[in-house]
Structure formats: C-alpha cells, structure tokens
Amino acid sequence: MFASKEFSREGLQHRTTARRALWLALAATLAVGALPVTARAASNDNNVEWNGLFHDQGPLFDNHVEPTSAQAVTLTFRTFKGDITSATIKYYDSGDSSFHTVAMSWSSNDATGTFDYWKGTIPASASEKYYRFKITDGTATAWYNAAGISSSEPSSGDFFIIPGFTTPAWMKNGVMYQIFPDRFYNGDTNNDVQTGQYCYKGHCTEKHAWGTSVYATGGDNNLVFFGGDLAGVDQKLGYIKNTVGANIIYLNPIFSAPSVHKYDTSDYTTVDPAFGSNATLQTLIGDLHAASNGPHGYLMLDGVFNHTGDAHKWFDKYNNFSSAGAYESQQSVWYGYYDFQQWPGTYSSFLGFDTLPKLDYGASGSAVRNAIYGSSTSVVKTYLSAPYGIDGWRLDAAQYIDAGGNNGSDTTNHQILAELRTAVKSVNPNADILGEYFGNAGPWTTSGNQWDGAMNYDGFTQPVSEWITGQDYGGGSASIPASQFDSWLHGTRANYPTNVQQVMSNFLSSHDITRFGNRAGGDIWKTYLALIFQMTYVGTPTIYYGDEYGMQGGADPDNRRTFDWNTGTSTNSAVALTGKLTAIRNAYPALRTGSFMSLATDDTNKLYAYGRFDATNRIAVALNNDSTSHTVTVPVWQLSMTNGSTVTDLLSGSHYTVQNGTVSVNVNGHYGAILAQ
C-alpha cells in the first residue's frame, strides 16, 4: 500500500534481536564449503559428517512435492559415502496428532562416488504432515530439517507435506513485471487527467510532463498525474515480453478512485477513466494472453479488499451518487458494510486514515463477503471470469481484512481468506493468490487453504538490500556479511512449504519502499549483482518497472517516477543483462524448481556461492559483492560434478574444468558467474 504506513505497521519486524540471533546460529551450522576437499573421507566412526548431509524438496529428493491424498511421498537423503549406520524419517501426522518413524534404506551412490543416498516413504493420506531426519553413526546422532542441522532434536522448522495443496505452475516458472500504471507509458493522451480537472479533500489534480517531478507544486502528491494508462501497457507488451523477458504483469490498482495510486477505490466495477475503460482492460488481457507478440502471458490485478475509499458508492462521504451511502444514512443498504463507532463521523479505517474506511466482513455469507468474493457477480469472480479472465489477485493489506472493526491477523481473518481462496479456485484452479505481508507470511501459506505465496520482503528484499547496498529497504543503514545473508535466506525459506517458496514474489523494489537503485547509490554494478541473484534464487523474480535499468527514487511518491523510455531499451547494459538472465532462467528448470544448496561464503572478500540442480542440470552461482574482482573457488563436488567435466559460465560463455572437486573462476566486482553443466 503506502510506504509510510507499511513501515509503521510492520516496524521492520524481521530485524529483531531474536531473529538476528537465529541467523547467526544458522551461520555457524551452515558454514558449507568450509571443509577442504581432502577432508571428505568418511567412515562409521561415531561421528556424523555434517558437511555431507543434504535434503530439500527438490525433484531429486522428494518425488511428490505436491502430493494428492492418494500419493505416498518417497524422500531421499544424502550423506557422505559409508559415513552413517542408519537414517530415519520422523514425522508428525496431523491426522492422528502423533509422531511416526520410517526407517530409510541405502539406495545408491552419486556419480562422483562421494555420497550415499538413502530413501524412505511416508504413507499416503489426506492429512498435513511435518518431517525431520534422524541421522546416526554408531553413538553419534544428527538431526536435519528445513531449519538446518542440529545435534539435538529440533522442536520446529520441519519440512511440510500438504496433500491436495498446489501452487500455480506458471507462477513457479514465470518472471513478473510490476507496473504503476500512471507512470509507465502514455498510450492514449485522450484520457489524460488535466490540471484542475477535479478536486478531492481540498486539493486539485495536477498534470505533469513526463519525466518531471512527481511532487505536487503545492497540493497533494496523490493527485499528480502523468498520463500512463492501460493502452500504454498494451503498446509496450513487446518490450515486457521480449526485451525484459517477463511473462507475468502485476498492475497496481486500476479501478476508479480519486487518487493516482487507486488504493482508495470508489468503484470496483469500473476501470478508472484515466487508465482507459473496461474494454481497454479486456484488450490488454487478450493481447497479454496471446503468443503472437512473445510468450503467453498472465495478468494479476491488485485487490484492495480491506477497505474502500470514502468516495466509494457504498460509503459516499461526498454525496457523489444519487443512492444513499453508509456515511449519508443509517438506512443505506450498505450501512452494514462498514463499522461505525458513532455514525457518521467515527468509523473503523485503515491505519486511522479517514479516507480509507474499513470494510466489515461480518459472518460467513454476509453481504460484504458476497460482494467481494462470494457471489457469481462478486469483484473477485467477475474479473477471473469471461470476458476478462485475469490470472490472479495480489491482495493488498490482506492481513487486516476482518469483521466488526477488528484489525485482522486473527481467526476471522484466516476464515475470510480461506473463503476467498475457495472462491478464486472455483473459477480458475490455476489462478494465483499473492498476499501482501512484510514479515513471516507462514500463517497464511502453511495450511494450504489461503494464499499461494506472498510478497517476499522478509525473505528476499530486505536481506538482498542489506548485503548488497548496506541499507534496509527503507534506506536506513544496515549491512550484513555473506554468511549472515546465507543464513537469513535459509531461515526464511524454512518458513514455507517448497511450493510456496517457489511462488514467493522476489523484488528489489516496490511502490511502497525506496528504489533499489537509490539504496545502491546509483551504482549500476550493484543492480547487475542483484539481478543475477534475483534470477537464480528460489521464487518468482519480480521486476518493479524501471528496476531493470536501475531506476532511482526515494520514499513514496519518489519511488513512482515515470519510466525513462530513452534508457529502457535493449541497448542499455542493465536491460540487456535482464533479458539475458530471464532467458537463462527460462532455459533451465533447475533455476526455477530445482534444489537450492549453499556452497560457500567468504565474509572477508564478500563472496557467496550456491547451487541449483535437478536430474538434468547442475548449476553453481558465484557472486562477488566486493568492488574489485576476485577468484572464487567453488566446491562443485557438493553438486556431484565429476572431476574432468566441463562447466560453462552462461553469462560470459567461458568454459572451465572441474579439478579436485572445484571450479575456480574470476568474477568482476559486483557481478557473478552462472556455471552450468
């Protein structure tokens, strides 16, 4: 929503002392790549070699990441060859509220002869389960779960099995492009909002020339218009699909509202005239879905369902409609849509902003629930259905949706969002539901009945910003070394089922926070490095328009500058790199749904290496966050790359030979290498 509100309501909660302590502890247990290659010998010596242990829910280690209730799940666990005497799966079954164990048996060795693989099967059922591994070598025991490795049995952080829960494949495999419509491209000058065209709350609209200041000359920044619209998005689909390589578009709100940001909805049934018409939206969707102008695309709309604007027909604070709104009459048919403490002037609102009255969702089957998602003519179902056929909803401020003036994040909030999911999936089972949340979104994603994924502030945007720029996403000073970056990523991945991780929206900037380019001090090489990580990490890469060329901008509204079409071309080095990276991601499923393995961290030289792999490809990514070049020695033996085999840097085209289990590559400052075989 609005940057200032987001910071106040979340308080950068993921940077608490307790979480930092957890990250530091994880850093100690996850110092992968630290062992010299010659130290890989293992035996039954009452000592479990932690550096050989690995499991995640990638395709080599879990045969059904999204099982049906009839599918048993066979898990594979990796150890050093000959190192252990037994391996056991211990899982909790919510069906009988009990723990169960499954003995694992040796299955095979890897191609290098370095590792053993052990297998065990959890029986099929409809109930949700959580599992961990007990690894034994004689008298020594290690425990392994999604949170990491420990010498004592963990009480949390287990892997998830949620039968019947799937997240959209197109979201797992796609690249998303976020657009703030007024600032992207003016495709139809006939619908431009002019200076003084209308006034709201004592201020009038201002028309600014493209590329000029986003700040009002003396009025309200939210009433500054530049003329970007849906026709402009449609006309630039070739750039989005083919130059950038994104196939998913997420639009900030497009429905009628007095502000430029449209989070103060006045009519859910109508596209704002400044952006075009409902017919324009249909045309855009049809052209985006077409494969004639690039790959088949998908459209997500911003669903602002926690509140309306005070100018909405249901509320009608300014008497804009002939029908009586809730603010005008207690006999209004919409009076029960809002929560009044003292009618008409005192009512529940979003974070105390009286322009944003909160919707009161009441009980199941209420008029508000039916209007937003329950009925066939509801907002949610209308745009998922013909003649529109959008592909998903991004839910704004969804944690706050509630009944009776309550502020969300409670049982009723989860009930509402579960009902909303049922409504969405009843129209299109493959539609995506993306929730907005700044912290751990586990409460909405780990039961399989609410969101598919969330905007990944906590598990991507913040750690990337701190590691690369030395600032948090609000622009405040905050810096972490590579080892803490790695453990932060590990800890936040463990918050979610794997299929949720794969559809988390990973962005460098958004309409609510300072631009990454700003935090990077305008250093385009830091944008290069961030793009390389973004396109090779777990989740859906999400490019906030202009981030592909390092657009700068401070806090709202400066983070919503107009797109520079002289810079945003294929001749720009950052844009070209973005296109190359999206093509690489599209070519290698391992970068989208493969395993993720940390390989090495070097805090002194600011280096980080990790692997993405599946049955077809093994890919090692080496990142250099220093300002000078470094030779990075990557322990690719952890990915079972055999000595004498060749790897290719997909960025430079250079070839390297695996020697003594490693590959050494010189990486420029604030850049990376993507080593594939």
Confidence of residue 218 (pLDDT cuts 50, 70, 90): confident
Three-class DSSP labels, 10-32: HCCHHHCHHHHHHHHHHHHHCCC
Grade residue 34 by pLDDT with cuts at 50, 70 and 90: very low
What CATH number matches the domain at 171-196+227-304+386-587, 3.40.50.1370, 3.20.20.80, 3.30.530.20, 3.30.1120.80?
3.20.20.80
Which residues share a beta bridge with 662?
A: 659
Q: Band the pLDDT of 22: cuts 50, 70, 90.
A: very low
pLDDT in tens, 421-468: 999 999 999 999 999 999 999 999 999 999 999 999 999 999 999 999
Give per-residue pLDDT as tens, 490-499. 999 999 999 9
The stretch 29-47 carries a mean pLDDT of: 57
Q: What is the pLDDT of residue 24?
A: 42
Q: What residue spans define the domains of the chain?
A: 42-64+67-161, 171-196+227-304+386-587, 590-676
Confidence of residue 41 (pLDDT cuts 50, 70, 90): low
Radius of gyration of the chain (CA): 26
Q: Does 29 have pLDDT greater than 90?
A: no
Local confidence band at 202 (pLDDT 50, 70, 90 cut-offs):
very high
- Mean pLDDT (the chain) is 94
Whether 328 is a known active-site residue: answer: no
Q: What is the tens place of the pLDDT at every residue in 574-592? A: 999 999 999 999 999 999 9
Among residues 220, 302, 396, 512, the one annotated as catalytic is 396
Whole-number Å distance between alpha carbons of 632 and 664: 5
With 50 as the cut, is the pLDDT of residue 5 above it? no
Tell me the one-letter amino acid at 204.
Answer: C
pTM comes to: 0.94
pLDDT at 42: 79
Active site residue 396: yes
Query: What is the structure's pLDDT at 46?
Result: 95
Least confident of 2-6, 204-208, 367-371, 645-649: 2-6
Q: How many CB atoms lie within 10 A of CB 633?
A: 18
Spell out a b/e string for 417-430, using b for 16 or more CB atoms within 10 Å of the CB, else e: bbbbbebbeebbee
The pLDDT assigned to 43 comes to: 83
**How far is C-alpha 309 from the geometric centre of its chain's CA atoms?**
27
> In the chain, pLDDT over 90 holds for what percent of residues?
93
Residue 103 in this model has a pLDDT that exceeds 70: yes
What's the rounded mean pLDDT across residues 157-179?
98
Residues in Cβ contact with 526 at an 8 Å cutoff, skipping those fewer than 6 apart:
468, 469, 520, 670
- What pLDDT score was predicted for residue 12? 33
pLDDT in tens, 264-284: 999 999 999 999 999 999 999
Q: Which fold is adopted by the domain 590-676?
A: Immunoglobulin-like (2.60.40)
Residues forming beta bridges with residue 105, ordered by sequence position: 119
Question: Which tops the pLDDT comparison, 11 or 490?
Answer: 490
pLDDT score, position 366: 98
* The pLDDT of residue 13: 36
- Name the token pair of 528: 């290069």
**Consecutive H or E run containing 144:** strand 140-145
CATH number of this structure's domain 42-64+67-161: 2.60.40.10
Whether the per-residue pLDDT at 40 is higher than 70: the answer is no
| Active-site pick, 264, 316, 402, 436 | 436
Same fold, 42-64+67-161 and 590-676: yes
* Confidence bin at 3 (pLDDT 50/70/90): very low
The 3-state DSSP class for residue 662 equals strand
Q: How far apart are CA 660 and CA 441, in angstroms?
A: 42
Cα distances (angstroms) measured from residue 50 to each of 34, 83, 90, 151, 674: 11, 10, 19, 10, 26
